[in-house]
Structure formats: structure tokens, C-alpha cells
Structure 1
């Protein structure tokens, strides 16, 4: 089964690193989900094994849902950070132009 990331580690990493990690984990979940579902379709399993695989599918889907919500949240944080950096850049340019106008020769 998959192991959840430690929440304290996620606060120290940058948003971009978190985005990459979460995207990678989602990709891995989809690959595992596809593998299990293909396995279930192609072969007959005893009821206990089939129930175990179906439970794993449900666990992976729950895990995916959690990661997709996390990814959506991280993208929002990234968007806010980007807007803030653009705002700071625009403010710097405005200060430069005001300086040039007032003290330029």
C-alpha cells in the first residue's frame, strides 16, 4: 500500500516541490489502479482475493481523491504566489519610472 507523506515535511518544502510530488503520486496511483483493474478483468480470482483487490481499488480511489484535492489547493497557492511576485515586479517598475521622471536628465 501507499504511505502518506508526513505533514510536517510538506510545510517545509516549496509549493513547486509539493506540486511535483503530488502530481507524481497521482500518476503512480493511476498506474496502480489501471494495473489492478486490468488484472481483475483478465483473470478469475477466488472471492477473498477479488474482495482484497476491490478493497485496494477503493483505497486507491480514496487516496487519489485526497491527492487531487491537495493538488487543486497547491495550484491555488502557486497562483497567489505568482500574482504576488508580478505585483512586486510591477511596483518595482513603477518606482523606477517615477525615479527616472523625477531625477532623470
Structure 2
């Protein structure tokens, strides 16, 4: 599209993994916007690295998922999801709604 390669998310990703990766991706994109607005180059670089991890894990960047074996695909998303969880652990939902 418009001179750019476009790839869809790897359809073999388990839904729970795909959802976690999308949450990481959206949080990283928000962090890029915040860092850019603040003029914080280091934070922007770190946030862009998180975007890259998420996009590779989803199969949208890097070696095309259709050229990888099931084992390679699994190793790809497990590796990048672990890296993302180590960098920016998912938010915990400890609060309960009152009512």
C-alpha cells in the first residue's frame, strides 16, 4: 500500500496472547506520543523499541509468519512477549467495582 509492505497479524496466535500483545502495542504507541510531545528522545526511543517488539511478536514485522514453522512462530511471540512483560509489565486489575 502506497509503496509500503503491509502484513496482518499471525492468525495462529492464541487469542489471549494476541490480546496481550495488542495491549502492549497500544501502550507503547501512547508512550511514543507522550515522549514525542515532551521532547524526551530517550523515552521515545524506548517506546519505539516496545512498538517494534509488539509488531514482531504479532507477526507484522520481521520474518513473515507464513515463512516460519509453527515452532518458529511460537518462539517468536513467546520471546517478544516475555521481553515486553519484562520492560513494561501489564497493569494489574486489583480494584473491584463498588456497587
Q: Work out whether the TM-score is over 0.5.
A: no
Higher relative contact order (CA 8 A, sep 6+): 1
TM-score normalised to structure 2 length: 0.38
Give TM-score scaled by structure 1 length. 0.36
| Greater Cα radius of gyration, structure 1 or 2 | 1
Which one has the bigger helix percentage?
1
